[in-house]
Amino acid sequence: MSLELSNPLQLLSTISQRQKCHAVEWSIKITHNTVKPRYKPTLYIYPDEQQPAYRSLTQLLHTIKTPRTVLDIHDDSRFTAMYQGLRLPVAASEDNCLFIHDSETQFIHSYRWREEKSFQQQRYMYSNRLPVTAVRDHIHPDLHSIFDSLLLQDGFKDQLGIWCQKKGDITHEVYLTFPSRPKIDWVIAGISPLLTASGVQQLQSYKGLRFKNIGFDAVTETRAPAVTMYFTIPVSDYFPTDYKDLMKRTFLFFREEAESILPEHIRKVSV
């Protein structure tokens, strides 16, 4: 394979079709002590007669040694999916993941694998009727203070809808959705008193960006529980060359004044 998995965006760029509706998502992980980018970009492909893009996705899935069953599921859903998304991590210890949102369901199915022999399946269940407070008990106790603080902020009025990531009947993560893509600034103001000084400084670097979801690790998380914030930008005219370029393009896309200089800790990103 001529393209390197160490640069997943190079691989994902082989799918993207210019002037078509594509979006790339990336995220940051927040704990009480640290704020770090997660090097797992996802490219979302929407139908709109984009069969060439889906064919390119099929080719890439073969290239990265996707399990046969997942390939069949991908192929069968090409004409019924609202969208498909492919997430490729930098680290070999992380799963590749194919997301499929069927247009006739309130579910997103995800298929995760590291090798061709096996895969795991999870699904995301959506509700816009469930009270936010109803999911608090599913969230890891270490994150309750952050969750409670966000609920008190004026910016929380933009919250609409909840996704729950499940494996079987077990909840692994809870996502609060913000369809209007509000600025992250009110989140920073709300949770900064709960973070260390270095965490606050790192989080401040993302001021001005607009986010789509806030994810909370569930009580099942056995490692360091974290909050994850997700950012998405369109990539129809230009596809980022690497992760640092993706972050730079996000700053340029969301900030009112184009900035050519990234915050210092982001300039140190090496992927």
Is 205 among the domain residues? Answer: yes
A 10 A CB-CB count for 98 gives 24
Domain presence at residue 203: yes
pLDDT recorded at residue 259? 47
Estimate to the nearest angstrom the gap between the alpha carbon of 30 and the chain centroid. Answer: 14
Q: Is residue 108, in this structure, part of any structural domain at all?
A: yes
State percent of the chain over pLDDT 90. 72
Q: What is the predicted pLDDT for the residue at 255?
A: 73
- Give me the domain span that covers residue 167: 8-267
Q: Identify whether the C-beta of residue 65 lies closer than 8 Å to the C-beta of residue 115.
A: yes
The predicted model gives 126-144 an average pLDDT of: 94
**19 has pLDDT over 60:** no
214 domain residue, yes or no: yes
Domain contains 35: yes
Inform me whether the pLDDT recorded for 177 exceeds 50.
yes
Please state, as a whole number, how many other Cβ atoms lie within 10 Å of the Cβ of residue 212.
Answer: 18
- Please state, in angstroms and rounded to a whole number, the distance separating the CA atoms of residues 216 and 111: 20
Tell me how many domains the chain contains. 1
For residue 130, is pLDDT > 50? yes
Tokens 């997660």, residue located: 38
Residue 235 · residue 208 · CB < 8 Å: no
pLDDT in tens, 147-165: 999 999 999 999 999 999 9
Kindly list the distances between the CA atom of residue 220 and the CA atoms of 85, 110, 141, in Å, as whole numbers in the listed order. Answer: 25, 19, 10
Residue 3 lies in a domain: no
Q: Please check whether residue 74 lies inside any domain of the structure.
A: yes
Residue 125 forms part of a structural domain = yes
pTM of the entire structure? Answer: 0.90
The answer to whether 135 touches 174, Cβ cutoff 8 Å, is yes
